[in-house]
Amino acid sequence: MSGEDKTLYNEVYKKLLDIGDIIGIEGTLFTTQVGQQTIAVKKFDVLNKTLRPLPLPKTDAEGNTYDEFNDPELRYRQRYVDLIVNPKVKETFIKRTKITNSIREYFNAKDYLEVETPILQPIPGGASARPFMTHHNALDIPLYLRVANELYLKRLIVGGFDGVYEFSKDFRNEGMDRTHNPEFTVMELYVAYKDYFWMMDTTEALLEKVALDSNGSSAVSVGEHTIDFKAPYPRIPILKAIEIHTGIDVSEMDEVTLRETAKGLGIEVDETMGIGKLVDEIFGEKCEHHYIQPTFITDYPKEMSPLTKEHRSNPKLTERFELMVNGKELANAYTELNDPIDQRERFEEQMKLSEKGDDEAMFIDQDFLRALEYGMPPTSGIGIGIDRLVMLMTNNSSIQEVLFFPQMRPEKKAVELTEEEKAILSLLKTNSPIELAQLKEQAGLSNKKWDVSLKGLTKKGIAKVEKTEDGYGYQSIKSLE
């Protein structure tokens, strides 16, 4: 504070303000003797008072750091705190915006139109995935959260647009792990009068630009690897990749032989899996992790690709590629199927898979078929996983690190225990299961306190009574402390 009166500084600033308080100040800007610009404060106001202390790290004289806010679950649940105390986290999300802006710049320069399509859909089409389901009360109909926006974007190509793209929030009611979240972001692009060869060239140019815009170089560090997005990328047919990494040519195998081959490779399969699912499982288990540098895996079997145009030189295959980077799929693209008769037959094959028990088989979208019957020009389309792309460009190994608010299990509520319950639980943690009579003797409680504590622990789901051959035993289930 300036001037002679230090009362405000000593009594308010030093004693009543805490780290995390937000204050507004008035004063005069000046430069210190060491050349740093600062403000000679004449007045300040408390704009907001923090009621919780920020978990700021502390470093001792030996350089040891304490109280870091680095527990992943806490960080994801309290992202607002994470952003304040961990500057690198904020840098990740700033870079995420740079990445999406770079993609937009590339497409807008080519006069492709950014559009929006429905999230609530009557048919969860465009991908083989398990959907979330909801109900529209006013219309009294079931609806699905979209698993993909592909079929709506193709409708716009039918409607006469030459190129459309969308940053889409998609939802799949499936597993969660370090690379999967039930809600995720995909960018999908569709361009008329193009094929998957053109799309490979475009993808190379796009990703090289994104790497340069976000990192200043086409080469980025990802874990222990340096991945270079500079074009061109290798192009390997999927059946050839399987042959390379297993030594087995599966190209002429029927479903039964392919299933037995998968079993022989130690891959878990079942009778619901058709040829496409079996090839996908073999590639995923035996090949995918080998492709660290950007690599196009091409020419998928028709059974794997119900929305893809038949290959121009092999009717068993389709004109499809997936881009593998760091051992994971980053993008999926086709020369789009625009024959409505062929498309209907492919949908019907998917229904047969559904009847066999495949809960990820595609639905038949009759309105999409009707749109194709009006005529869709030759088209190429691609979907790029934005979350995975951001993981690569920011050197993060978990998808939760690149989502502001990733999906989490509900927080466990703290359970309050009496002193007697704590004593019994402490005994259980060292010896469980244990006979009731033995536990009661060790606890040393009166009959009344024993009965009340026993009922309390079982009611709170912390312990349970189980029958044994000799009578009753008492076994700890879990502690919610």
Assigned CATH topology for domain 88-234+293-402: BirA Bifunctional Protein; domain 2 (3.30.930)
pLDDT at 434 over 70: yes
Asked whether residue 466 carries a pLDDT value surpassing 60, the answer given is yes
Q: What pLDDT score does 301 carry? A: 92
pLDDT at 371 over 80: yes
Q: Is the model's pLDDT at 167 over the cut of 70?
A: yes
Q: What is the pLDDT of residue 296?
A: 98
Please give the residue that has the higher pLDDT: either 383 or 307.
Answer: 383
Give the least confident one: 115-124, 209-218, 339-348, 404-413: 404-413
Reported as a pLDDT band with limits 50, 70 and 90, residue 350 is: confident
Peptide bond into 122 cis (omega under 30): no
pLDDT over 90, % of the chain: 65
Per-residue DSSP letter, 401: G
What number of residues does the chain have? 481
pLDDT value, residue 467: 65
Cβ burial, residue 197 (10 Å; 0-12/13-18/19+): middle
Alpha-carbon distance 102 to 215, whole Å? 12
Contacts of 444 (CB under 8 A, 6+ apart): none
CB 457 within 8 Å of CB 421: yes
Helix (H) or strand (E) holding 185: strand 183-192
Q: Compute the mean pLDDT over every residue in the chain, rounded to the nearest whole number.
A: 90
Rg (CA), the chain: 30
Peptide bond just before 72 cis, omega within 30 deg: no
Please tell me which residue, 3 or 397, carries the higher pLDDT value.
397
Q: What is the pLDDT of residue 206?
A: 98
Per-residue confidence (pLDDT) for residue 480, from 0 to 100: 36
| Predicted local distance difference test score (pLDDT) of residue 479 | 39
Strand-strand pairing, 235-237 and 225-228: unpaired
Q: What is the per-residue pLDDT for 474?
A: 43
> What's the CATH architecture for 419-476?
Orthogonal Bundle (1.10)
The pLDDT of residue 226? 98
Per-residue pLDDT at 468: 60
Where does the pLDDT of residue 65 fall: very low under 50, low under 70, confident under 90, or very high at 90 and above? confident
DSSP sequence for 262-327: HHHTT----TT--HHHHHHHHHHHHTGGG--S-EEEE--BGGG-TTBPBPSS-TTBBSEEEEEETT
408 to each of 74, 400, 404, 481, how far by Cα in Å? 11, 10, 12, 19
Interatomic CA distance for residues 165 and 280, integer angstroms: 27
Task: Examine the pLDDT at 2 and tell me if it is beyond 90.
Answer: no
Instruction: Measure the CA–CA gap between 100 and 210, rounded to whole angstroms.
Output: 8
* Mean pLDDT, rounded, for 147-158: 96
Q: State the pLDDT at residue 312.
A: 94
Distances (CA, A) of 296 to 77, 128, 416, 429: 37, 21, 56, 53
Alpha helices in 133-252 (DSSP H): 150-158, 196-215, 238-246
Count Cβ neighbours within 10 Å for each residue of 1-34 and write b for 16 or more, e otherwise.
beeeeeeeeeeeeeeeeeebeeeeeeeeeeeeee
Which of 10-19, 76-85, 180-189 comes out lowest in average pLDDT?
10-19
Looking at the predicted structure, is the pLDDT value of residue 358 above 50?
yes
Half-sphere exposure of 285 (CA within 13 A, CB side): 16
pLDDT of residue 425: 84
What SS3 state is found at 233? coil
At 473 the pLDDT is 45
Q: What is the mean pLDDT of residues 336-342?
A: 95
C-beta of residue 400 within 8 angstroms of C-beta of residue 76: yes
Per-residue pLDDT for 252 more than 80? yes
At 195 the three-state DSSP class reads coil
Residues with Cβ within 8 Å of residue 288, at least 6 apart in sequence: 324, 327, 328, 329
Q: What values do phi and psi take at 265, rounded to 5?
A: -90, 5
Question: What is the maximum span of the chain, computed from C-alpha positions, in angstroms?
Answer: 92
pLDDT-based confidence at 475, cuts 50/70/90? Answer: very low
pLDDT at 353: 75
pLDDT in tens, 174-184: 988 988 999 99
pLDDT at 286: 97
Three-state SS for 255?
A: helix
Confidence of residue 481 (pLDDT cuts 50, 70, 90): very low
Mean pLDDT of 188-199: 98
Work out the average pLDDT over 311-316.
94
The domain segmentation of the chain, as residue ranges, is 7-53, 88-234+293-402, 419-476
Interatomic CA distance for residues 176 and 186, integer angstroms: 17
Q: What is the pTM of this model?
A: 0.81
Handedness of CA 420, 426, 428, 431 (dihedral sign): negative
Instruction: Name the residue among 236, 191, 222, 207 with its Cα closest to residue 385.
Output: 207
Model confidence at 191: pLDDT above 80:
yes
Question: 150, 117, 118, 145: which is closest to 133 by C-alpha?
Answer: 145
Confidence of residue 280 (pLDDT cuts 50, 70, 90): very high
Percent of residues, the chain, with pLDDT higher than 70: 95
